[in-house]
Homo-oligomer: A and B are copies of this chain.
């Protein structure tokens, strides 16, 4: 019996989910639900496209709906709404608003007898797990999270909003010397500036004042002002050719001590060619967990912290205990 998965939204994440379902033999993609005109959307693997307005009709045809919208306006509304009709998974990643989102989804899912997983992906998600396990097994220690090297879409967008900028790509890069100090167990206190560098590739419009653009980038509050920022002006052709991908990744380190000053360093790292496809792949594994939990009568809003790891695996408990433990 295949788990029937619906995809709500068809941007990078939705396409990634479609492809990831194809890598999991116990799952079938039912279709994509879009706010656009369905006939205007072509899916990568040919799965059907439907209008979101009709989604309620699919109540009994979908086991888990994966929500592929954005965290700022889509998910706060869509996840609680859909959790009344379906088991759902989302990648809500506005860290500060997670408790609020969890509460809204909990109320919707619980009363409907549905199960929802929120904030799945890699951060929040796999990185959160690394932080939780690290702190549990090394209670005296410090957590460090470094992001990159990778493309930050929010920062790339912020640069594109500056007057005179035609296009842009921003890479977040961990400061190698800081990373080395943490890996050695020095437990340094690091400022924002000491942890990451921001490198920007910018295409200026013809005749634009590059000095002003560079200055506006480097002094932009929240986004760049607290960092050492490097700005390169390049042509649109070079940007398209050398900076087309959306790689990302990062490192979570727990550095702690036991006994009489024995040091231990736990490091969890990701090197991802495609940020969206990896996130999608995590969402699909979480869809399996949500499906199983709901079958067992465990309803409401969950996070990766709440789910026994074995629920994520396509293998049986006996198999993972025999082969992976």
A interface list, Cβ under 8 A from B: 16, 19-20, 23-24, 95, 98-99, 102, 119, 124, 126, 128-133, 135-140, 143, 183, 185, 258-259, 262-274, 277-278, 280-282, 285, 288, 303-310, 312-315, 317-318, 320-322, 324-325
User: Judging by beta carbons under 8 Å apart, are A128 and B268 in contact?
Assistant: no
Contacts of A278 in B (CB 8 A): 137-138, 258, 262, 264
Contacts of A271 in B (CB 8 A): 183, 185, 264-265, 267
Closest to A128 in B: B325
Distance between A245 CB and nearest chain B CB, rounded to angstroms: 8
Closest to A312 in B: B136
C-alpha gap A19/B136 in the complex (Å): 15
Enumerate 28 A-B pairs (CB-CB under 8 Å) in ascending A order. A98-B321, A98-B325, A99-B321, A119-B325, A126-B137, A126-B266, A129-B309, A132-B312, A133-B309, A135-B324, A136-B312, A136-B313, A136-B314, A137-B282, A137-B285, A137-B312, A183-B271, A258-B277, A258-B278, A262-B278, A264-B270, A266-B268, A304-B325, A305-B308, A305-B325, A306-B308, A306-B309, A307-B308
User: Judging by beta carbons under 8 Å apart, are B267 and A280 in contact?
Assistant: no
Contacts of A263 in B (CB 8 A): 273
Contacts of A95 in B (CB 8 A): 325
Contacts of A119 in B (CB 8 A): 325
Contacts of A99 in B (CB 8 A): 318, 321-322
User: Of A126, A139, A183, A185, which is in contact with the most chain B CB atoms at under 10 Å from its CB?
Assistant: A139
Closest to A302 in B: B308
C-alpha gap A16/B109 in the complex (Å): 44
User: Judging by beta carbons under 8 Å apart, are B277 and A272 in contact?
Assistant: no
Contacts of A318 in B (CB 8 A): 99
C-alpha gap A23/B258 in the complex (Å): 8
Contacts of A277 in B (CB 8 A): 258-259, 262, 264
User: Of A304, A309, A318, A320, which is in contact with the most chain B CB atoms at under 10 Å from its CB?
Assistant: A309
User: Judging by beta carbons under 8 Å apart, are A266 and B270 in contact?
Assistant: yes
Distance between A285 CB and nearest chain B CB, rounded to angstroms: 4
User: Of A137, A268, A307, A322, which is in contact with the most chain B CB atoms at under 10 Å from its CB?
Assistant: A137
User: Judging by beta carbons under 8 Å apart, are B262 and A273 in contact?
Assistant: yes
Contacts of A137 in B (CB 8 A): 126, 278, 281-282, 285, 312
User: Judging by beta carbons under 8 Å apart, are B281 and A138 in contact?
Assistant: yes
Q: Which 10 A-B pairs have CB atoms at the shortest separation, nearest pair first?
A: A262-B273, A136-B312, A262-B274, A258-B277, A305-B310, A136-B285, A265-B271, A128-B325, A131-B324, A136-B313
Closest to A143 in B: B324
Closest to A289 in B: B136
C-alpha gap A318/B102 in the complex (Å): 10
User: Judging by beta carbons under 8 Å apart, are A258 and B281 in contact?
Assistant: yes
C-alpha gap A309/B136 in the complex (Å): 9
Contacts of A322 in B (CB 8 A): 98-99
Besides A264-B272, A305-B321, 12 new A-B residue pairs in contact (Cβ under 8 A), listed by A number: A16-B258, A19-B258, A137-B278, A137-B281, A139-B281, A262-B278, A264-B273, A265-B270, A267-B267, A305-B317, A306-B309, A309-B309
